Amino acid sequence: MSNNQVRVRFAPSPTGALHIGGVRTALYNYLLAKQLGGKMLLRIEDTDQTRYVEGAEKYIIEALSWVGITIDEGIGVGGPHAPYRQSERKPMYMDYAMQLINSGKAYYAFDTSEELDAMRQALESQGSAFQYNAVTRVKLNNSLTLSEDETKAKIEAGEPYVIRLKVPAKEEIRFKDIIRDWVHVHSSTIDDKVLMKSDGMPTYHLANVVDDHLMEISHVIRGEEWLPSAPLHVLLYRAFGWESTMPQFAHLPLLLKPEGNGKLSKRDADLGGFPVFPLAWTNPDGSKALGFREEGYLKEALVNFLAFLGWNPGTEQEMFSMDELVTAFSLERINKAGAKFDINKAKWYNQQYLKLQSDEELAKTYLPDFESDKAIKIVHLFKERVTFPQEITQEANNLFTAPETFDATIVASKWNVDAQTSITAFAEAVPSIENFVADEIKHTLHDVFEKLGIKMGKVMQMLRVAVTGAGAGPDLMLSMEIMGKDEVTARLTKALNELPNL
């Protein structure tokens, strides 16, 4: 590895929207690279062309950019190991597969699906499961059972074949995972995986190992679902003679359903009404999937939430900026156990980060149609009460829509002679308030109640109902200031006309 530099990669397949678990994987790669002064690569693994989805690659790039993950090398950036799209590296993989054939570490297999089915049925009838391995390969149609001339003749005749790894029959495979410590697997449990498909495309296993080696990847940080493949990849590094420069592995814990029983899926998200994709996505069949961005989650909140899904800093601190995460992060503090996807925690983070934004910034972004000073007051009124920024827009619209009905429960318990008398008096006093701001409104209200000898506490909830229709809400004085004198007067008059005369 050149200069022992940390080099990590995020290598998704363009098969649809990027799952939020993939974003977490990319985030952990990014944090490690930034902390150790390394490089973050983006590689597109599109060897399975049958699953390719138009627009998926662009989506991946946009999603990573939105959450603040900067790519140093790879797709969209370029670099010394281009191309970074595996389909464009296709000719090279056959050269490496041939290297394994020539060294006796791989072989040609000409078996038809019918031949493999026959072998499978024969073994199953004896109570054994079929595996293409050291035991069965000597009975099948491959270059290990055919002569060199027979093999050559089949290839020259254009007979379809795949190239399989010749897995050693009795070998201990062990490697150290940064998160899971030592992993031990016996080679007898691994089948002779296909490395090159009959269409000339490499499988994930070959392309992944070759590319990680050529791109000098120092750490492979990926999901737990790839842990069963890791021993095979170790075997490939050995077969190529690259074991001394093999990357360190770290297999991340699964993201679990909110209740903790099983892997998080899109169906769980649909049932729970929450997203599992960073950005909204339209599937080829026209169906749509929710996105965290479009649902109103701030990228800072999402990053903080994702960082804690499997990792903890070992302190009580919960709020981390990206720079603080870079400083605090370590692979050793990632848990082995799966992490519950608690969407309520994501909402909590969103509330916290929303509160940290300035009133001016939120007003400019979410209330562009309102006059600036009024927009800032509206944001200040609602910012502490909402979870998503678009709710400020909704609340602002509600603020300027007179109520059609009045809270029946409050009216039943609070609408009395004192309430009618004091609200009538206040309605008459409102037009005389010269500077219609919260403090002056409150001062006038105090004067009205004092002159009438009525305690404010007994009537305030009913006053709120008269103005807004609801029994609870944000600061009423500031709400009335934002509505303006004429609107408040009109609402009080409407309430007094529509509520029973006592």
Residue positions annotated with a catalytic role:
266
- The DSSP 8-state label assigned to residue 89 in this structure reads G
Q: Is the dihedral of CA 191, 196, 201, 205 positive or negative?
A: positive
**How far is the C-alpha of 418 from the C-alpha of 496, rounded, in Å?**
13
The residue with tokens 């890791």 is 230
Q: Is the dihedral of CA 456, 457, 461, 464 positive or negative?
A: positive
Q: Is 464 exposed, middle or buried (0-12, 13-18, 19+ CB in 10 A)?
A: buried
Q: Which residues contact 402 (CB under 8 A, 6 or more apart)?
A: 487, 490, 491, 494
485-498 vs 460-468: helix axis angle to the nearest 10? 100
**How far is the C-alpha of 194 from the C-alpha of 457, rounded, in Å?**
78
**How far is the C-alpha of 474 from the C-alpha of 483, rounded, in Å?**
13
Q: What are phi and psi of 421, to 5 degrees?
A: -65, -50
Measured from the Cβ of residue 145, the count of other Cβ atoms closer than 10 Å reads 15
**How far is the C-alpha of 90 from the C-alpha of 202, rounded, in Å?**
7
Long-range contacts of 473-476 (CB under 8 A, 24+ apart): 474/381, 474/382, 474/385, 474/395, 475/381, 475/438
Q: What are phi and psi of 388, to 5 degrees?
A: -125, 145
The residue with tokens 């400019």 is 364
**How far is the C-alpha of 381 from the C-alpha of 63, rounded, in Å?**
32
Give the residue among 499, 10, 448, 442 at the shortest CA–CA distance from 223: 10
Report angle CA 318, 38, 298 to the nearest 5 degrees.
Answer: 35
